[in-house]
A and B are shown apart, each in its own frame.
Chain A
Amino acid sequence: MTSTATGGPLTAEGLGARVQAFLADHDPASTDRLKFLRARFDAGLAWVHYPEGLGGLGADPSLQPGVDAAFAAAGAPDNRPHTNIIGLGMAAPTILRFGTPEQQRRWLRPLWTGEEIWCQLFSEPGAGSDLANVATSAKPAGDEWVVNGQKVWTSLAHDATWAILVTRTDPAQPKHRGLTFFVCAMDSPGVDVRPLRQITGESEFNEVYLDDVRVPDAQRLGEVGQGWAVTQNTLMNERVAIGGGTIPRESGAIGELVKVWRERPELRTPGQHDQVLRFWVEAEAGRLTAERLGQQQAAGMPGPEGSGVKLTHARLNQQISSFELDLLGDEALRYTDYSARRPVLVTHSESPANWRFLRAKGNSIEGGTSEIMRNIIAERVLGLPAEARADKDTPWKDLPR
């Protein structure tokens, strides 16, 4: 733990005192929302484990929930974290790890306050699980780069000010070595965002076409050719963001199922009873596994369980929501609305069961497919050898496509 200007390591009590002092100076009831959030960032009380001057105090990350709770208890506005998931979960840690001091000062504050929303331009039609296969090119032009290509599965692209972008800068190198990572302004000329309609009828995601988009070299994160290392760091944060966390008993898909089971005895059949109990056991085992992972992380021993938690979460969401439709029978045959539209953010429980059934199909694909998760576990945890592969040492331009 770091010492601070006031001397001594930061404790929960010390942070609590700082929060109360801040609240005394900035009354949440009478201070403008953005002004309040900017001041909170400047006081180092935004993400306390970040360095001083960048919204933090170099404190232990386990102290953050206490700080958030103290602000919430005082009725303070929050930064609406659910509206900027990519920014907070992926872009910020990447900027912190690879950004220059100028880049960190420019981007982190409006990112945290939610004034600027972020998206990621990673996947392409030809680069899904094999992300290192990206074909979007960036060619140098003075102190700028000219970017051309097509990205896909970009959530929030229509709301975003900035994007984190992976490009190929040297096609003569093997695939992992010719990549470079940039930050791209989404209002740049040549950026074209088109909604991508999905299985539920809505468009949560977008396709993004990049046509001679000019990106200043000052917006490069990491060295030229170092893009794969930066990308892997970003994806590691994504998996942590999707996988872990503390959850109450019977939350999520199992909560919806047992609610119907309890409230509607007329739907129950003898054959379904043991299956409901099986799901309850699996969901509770999954919940305790996530709790244990959280305890490991809090104790400074992050385990590889995150990939497993994600795998289980995806499988159970799919199986349990499917079973809930069986339970509902005829009612499940009516869908609410397949018309093309942007989705309205509502809590899980407010969505109809068959929407949840369809949406859950994405859980085993987004953020790394379940197959990739199993490869990660088998190779990095169990130490089994990688599949024989033909693309590691060949120049990218010579690979069959």
Chain B
Amino acid sequence: MTATPVTGDLLYSEIEDDLRASVRSLLEKQGAWDAVLARTETDETVDRELWARLAEIGCAALAVSEEQGGAGASWREAAVVAEELGRAVAPVPFLGSAGLAAALLVAVGEQEILPQLAEGGLVAALAVPFGTAPGAPTPAVELRGELLHGTVRGVADAVAADVLLVPVGNDLYAVGAEADGLTRTPIVSLDMTRQLVDLTLDSVRGRLVASDAEGAVTDALRIGAVLLASEQLGLAERCLETTVEYLAIRRQFGRILGSYQALKHRLADLWVLITQARAVARYAAECAATGSADLPVAAALAQAHCSVVAQQAAEECIQLHGGIGFTWEHPAHLYLKRAKSNAIALGTPERHRAALAELVDLPGVPA
């Protein structure tokens, strides 16, 4: 039997509740879903103005210390923001810049980019495919002479990025988004509320940020997985709420649909899954905030569970809305697209279960 680690605090603090209230109020004003939907069909798929407002209340670098220009909070508070952004399917580069990039820059002790990122004037993105799991190999960008060559497909939050953090073997380079020889091609993405970008580097000059950075990249992807789980939690909660609201008013056969046991039981099961998603997401955030040795288990557990729950919530949302849920005009498809993309992002549930097999000693069939 594996030892039971200390659980830590799984509840929300008063500060976290206040932060949630501020972010939610901002999103209600500036991130209504019909505006989010309309934006997906424009050239500006990222809401830079909303991101600037979020940065003003410290969301660009919550877990970065005040000495480094951040808010001096922790990944727990960042996870609460992720929940709210998931609820709103908000098109802002939080996960990529305030999550992956900030975690990586802190881990390698970078001093130049971080303060600008923290103050919100600069967006950074980690140049790996969005589906990269913690510890998985990153694309082969090479250094030939002093210049970088290679291709990285499907990078998240690179649309709005000013700086790209590019793993090159065991080194980490920073490349300006407008650098000569760098081509950024936004792609039509399954989730257009987080449009991905294909990068081509053809003789690009970068700045060496850190050597021996492989472990730091893995750690950053793990922090990303923790935040993504909270985003999935927020998304799932919103899908359940919307569906309950609809079933409480929709009538068929002369009855409120929500009074049918066949539908109520499905929603009850979903609610149970969401209470579990909250417990594992909070545990992962707590482990990230306290630097717990159980963080690799907590992050893999959170991703393995929350990915499934968020997708199921989005699918139930569509099915239980009936025909209206299948239309472009209803937000349900935004949630499904975000949920399915998130399930693949930073490693599928199966990848995370395979990671757990190693971490908690549940090996497969002996060779």
| A284: nearest chain-B partner, CB-CB | B301
Cross-chain contact of A378 among B268, B279, B301, B362 (Cβ < 8 A): B268
Given A281-B305, A285-B305: A276 and B267 interface contact (C-beta under 8 Å): no
| A291: nearest chain-B partner, CB-CB | B7
| B265: nearest chain-A partner, CB-CB | A374
| B297: nearest chain-A partner, CB-CB | A284
The number of chain B residues touching the other chain, given as a range, is 35 or more
Chain B residues, CB < 8 A from A375: 261, 264-265, 268
Question: Are A292 and B361 within 8 A (Cβ)?
Answer: no
Measured in the bound complex, the distance between the Cα atoms of B283 and A374 in whole Å is 26
Given A269-B365, A273-B365, A374-B265: A311 and B276 interface contact (C-beta under 8 Å): no
Measured in the bound complex, the distance between the Cα atoms of B282 and A58 in whole Å is 33
For the complex, is B10 an interface residue (Cβ under 8 Å from A)? yes
In the complex, chain B residues 262-314 whose Cβ is within 8 Å of any chain A Cβ: 264-265, 267-269, 271-272, 275-280, 282-283, 301, 304-305
Measured in the bound complex, the distance between the Cα atoms of B361 and A143 in whole Å is 66
Given A274-B353, A276-B362: A285 and B276 interface contact (C-beta under 8 Å): yes
For the complex, is A8 an interface residue (Cβ under 8 Å from B)? no
Q: Please indicate which of the listed interface residues B247, B275, B366 has the most CB atoms of chain A within 10 Å of its own CB.
A: B275
Cross-chain contact of B362 among A280, A292, A312, A377 (Cβ < 8 A): A280
| B276: nearest chain-A partner, CB-CB | A285
Chain A residues, CB < 8 A from B353: 274, 277-278, 281
For the complex, is B208 an interface residue (Cβ under 8 Å from A)? no
Chain B residues, CB < 8 A from A42: none
Question: Are B271 and A381 within 8 A (Cβ)?
Answer: yes
Chain A residues, CB < 8 A from B255: 388
| Least Cβ–Cβ distance between A243 and chain B, in angstroms | 12
Question: Are B271 and A382 within 8 A (Cβ)?
Answer: yes
Question: Are B278 and A292 within 8 A (Cβ)?
Answer: yes
Chain B residues, CB < 8 A from A311: 268-269, 272
Question: Are A377 and B301 within 8 A (Cβ)?
Answer: no
| Least Cβ–Cβ distance between A130 and chain B, in angstroms | 14
Q: Please indicate which of the listed interface residues B240, B276, B356 has the most CB atoms of chain A within 10 Å of its own CB.
A: B276
For the complex, is B190 an interface residue (Cβ under 8 Å from A)? no
Measured in the bound complex, the distance between the Cα atoms of B349 and A272 in whole Å is 16
Question: Are A268 and B264 within 8 A (Cβ)?
Answer: no
Measured in the bound complex, the distance between the Cα atoms of B3 and A248 in whole Å is 8
In the complex, chain B residues 312-367 whose Cβ is within 8 Å of any chain A Cβ: 350, 353-354, 356-357, 360-366
Measured in the bound complex, the distance between the Cα atoms of B360 and A273 in whole Å is 13
Q: Per-residue 0/1 for A245-258: is the Cβ within 8 Å of any B Cβ (1 yes, 0 no)?
A: 00011100001001
Question: Are B268 and A374 within 8 A (Cβ)?
Answer: yes
Given A270-B365, A277-B356, A280-B362: A312 and B272 interface contact (C-beta under 8 Å): yes
Q: Please indicate which of the listed interface residues A249, A274, A286, A305 has the most CB atoms of chain B within 10 Å of its own CB.
A: A249
Q: Per-residue 0/1 for A377-388: is the Cβ within 8 Å of any B Cβ (1 yes, 0 no)?
A: 111011111111
Given A371-B265, A383-B248, A384-B244: A296 and B279 interface contact (C-beta under 8 Å): no
Question: Are B264 and A379 within 8 A (Cβ)?
Answer: yes
The number of chain A residues touching the other chain, given as a range, is 35 or more
Question: Are A377 and B259 within 8 A (Cβ)?
Answer: no
Chain A residues, CB < 8 A from B256: 385
Question: Are B10 and A292 within 8 A (Cβ)?
Answer: yes
Cross-chain contact of A385 among B2, B248, B283, B360 (Cβ < 8 A): B248
| Least Cβ–Cβ distance between A350 and chain B, in angstroms | 16
Chain B residues, CB < 8 A from A273: 357, 362, 364-365
| B274: nearest chain-A partner, CB-CB | A308
For the complex, is B258 an interface residue (Cβ under 8 Å from A)? yes
Chain A residues, CB < 8 A from B282: 292
Question: Are B11 and A299 within 8 A (Cβ)?
Answer: yes
For the complex, is B9 an interface residue (Cβ under 8 Å from A)? yes
Question: Are A291 and B275 within 8 A (Cβ)?
Answer: no
For the complex, is B15 an interface residue (Cβ under 8 Å from A)? no
For the complex, is B4 an interface residue (Cβ under 8 Å from A)? yes
For the complex, is A233 an interface residue (Cβ under 8 Å from B)? no
For the complex, is B1 an interface residue (Cβ under 8 Å from A)? yes
Chain A residues, CB < 8 A from B357: 273, 277
Question: Are B7 and A288 within 8 A (Cβ)?
Answer: yes
Measured in the bound complex, the distance between the Cα atoms of B294 and A249 in whole Å is 12
Question: Are B272 and A268 within 8 A (Cβ)?
Answer: no
Measured in the bound complex, the distance between the Cα atoms of B353 and A385 in whole Å is 39
For the complex, is A400 an interface residue (Cβ under 8 Å from B)? no
Given A288-B280, A308-B271: A280 and B360 interface contact (C-beta under 8 Å): yes
Cross-chain contact of B264 among A280, A308, A384 (Cβ < 8 A): A384
| Least Cβ–Cβ distance between A317 and chain B, in angstroms | 15
Question: Are A255 and B280 within 8 A (Cβ)?
Answer: no
Q: Per-residue 0/1 for A283-318: is the Cβ within 8 Å of any B Cβ (1 yes, 0 no)?
A: 011101101100110010000010010011000000
| A275: nearest chain-B partner, CB-CB | B353
Chain A residues, CB < 8 A from B265: 371, 374-375, 378
Q: What residues make up the interface of B, taking CB atoms closer than 8 Å to A?
A: 1-5, 7, 9-11, 240, 244, 247-248, 255-256, 258-261, 264-265, 267-269, 271-272, 275-280, 282-283, 301, 304-305, 350, 353-354, 356-357, 360-366
A-B contact pairs, 18 of them (CB 8 A): A249-B3, A249-B4, A258-B362, A265-B363, A265-B366, A268-B364, A268-B366, A273-B365, A277-B356, A281-B305, A291-B7, A291-B279, A295-B11, A311-B268, A373-B268, A375-B268, A382-B271, A385-B258
Additional A-B contact list (10), CB under 8 Å, known A285-B279, A299-B11, A374-B269:
A265-B363, A268-B365, A268-B366, A270-B364, A277-B304, A289-B276, A295-B10, A382-B264, A387-B259, A387-B261
Q: What residues make up the interface of A, taking CB atoms closer than 8 Å to B?
A: 248-250, 255, 258-259, 261-262, 265, 268-270, 273-274, 276-278, 280-282, 284-286, 288-289, 291-292, 295-296, 299, 305, 308, 311-312, 371, 373-375, 377-379, 381-388
